[in-house]
Each structure stands twice: as C-alpha cells, then as structure tokens.
Amino acid sequence: MKLNSYNLYRQLLLLWGVMLLSVSCGTDLGVDMIYKSAGSIRQYQVTNQSLVPYVNRFKERYLAHGGSLVASIDDIPVNFGDTNEKVGVCLIYSNDQREVLVNLDWWNGQSSRRRELLIFHELGHCALGREHQDNKVEKSNFSSSIMNSVLMSERDYRMFLAPYHFELFTRDGDVLLSAIHQELADDDPIAVSSSQ
C-alpha cells in the first residue's frame, strides 16, 4: 500500500494525539464515595502498614492548614481491597464508620505522587466529607480541586502541589486559581492579560 504525504501526515497526527492523551489524561474515578446498606460491616480496623506514610502525610498537611480532627482520620482504615474495578473508594457505613479501599493492581503501577494524590482524594471524601468538584480553571485544562472525579496528571499535581493542598483542606480555591493564572500568564502574557 502506497501512502501519500497527506495520509502519512494524518496517521502521524493521530498517533501523536493518542500518545498525548495517554500521557496527559487523568484516571476517571467514577462514583468512588459509596454508602453501604444497613448491616454492612467495615472490612478492616487498622490501616495497611505500606499505606501509613500516605495517611500520615495527609494528617500533616491537614494540621498545617488548621485542621483539628486528626483522631477521626485515625478511625478511617486505608487498605488494599475489592474496589469493584475502581482505583480507590471511600466506603461509608450506616453506623457512620468509614474506610478507604485501594486497587492493588493500579497502585503497583503508580508513582509515589500519584499514590499520594489518590489517598488525599479518597480521604477528602471519607475524612473531610468532600464531594466531587468537577470544575476546570477557566481558560485552562487544570482541575480546580483534588476532588475532581478524574484523578489529575502527576505533572499538574506536582506543579501546583501546595495550592491544591490548600484548596483541599480549606475549601478556598483562590490561592490555586491565582497560582494557575500566574503560570498561564508566564507562558503566554498576551493571552492571559487579554482575558482579565
């Protein structure tokens, strides 16, 4: 089969698009805050030791942002378990006990930062009572919260780590918006200044 330059260009463009999507897109979390029926019993009482450093980092960041419910975070075990094909879930039982379950297969293929992001997201549900917040920052593709139902890329999380934590623990998105708008202005001062 002979390819002309136009078809070759189209195929290369399609391949580039697929590669870009596979690198830049987040992981769709779907419905990951699940209310269990009466009579359901929490599966675990303590957190898996390999997950303790992530839970401790959550508690440290929570305290640094003025939080005071550390004891209740300790009452939420985080473990590997059946997540019904989701990467992670927050389970809320009828007696108000909670637990986080993480998909071990997903976990094993992730970096430390992506793991942290998932634990912070699920504890955002279980410990902080946060719902999904699926907004994007205006004129960008950045999530406006860790609580987005699509787990953002590691690059975005690293780029705005402190502002994302501030938004998670204080529910104040202004610092994050300011940081993202500043980054956009640094990249393209004409586009951002014309949008203000």
Q: What is the mean pLDDT of the chain?
A: 85
pLDDT in tens, 59-96: 999 999 998 877 789 999 999 999 999 999 999 999 99
- 29 vs 99: CA distance, rounded Å: 17
The most confident of the ranges 9-18, 24-33, 40-49 is 40-49
Considering only residues 11 and 127, tell me which one the structure prediction assigns the higher pLDDT: 127
Neighbours of 9 (CB within 10 A): 11
- Domain count for the chain, please give it: 1
Q: Is residue 8 part of a domain?
A: no
- Is residue 12 in a domain? no
In a domain, 11, yes or no: no
- Structural domain includes residue 153: yes
Residue 2 within any structural domain of the chain: no
Range of the domain at 156: 28-195
Residue 135 pLDDT > 60, yes or no? yes
Note the pLDDT of residue 188: 63
Model pLDDT, residue 4:
60
**Residue 18: inside a domain, yes or no?**
no
The answer to whether residue 10 sits within a structural domain is: no
pLDDT at 27: 85
| Cβ–Cβ under 8 Å, residues 100 and 89 | yes
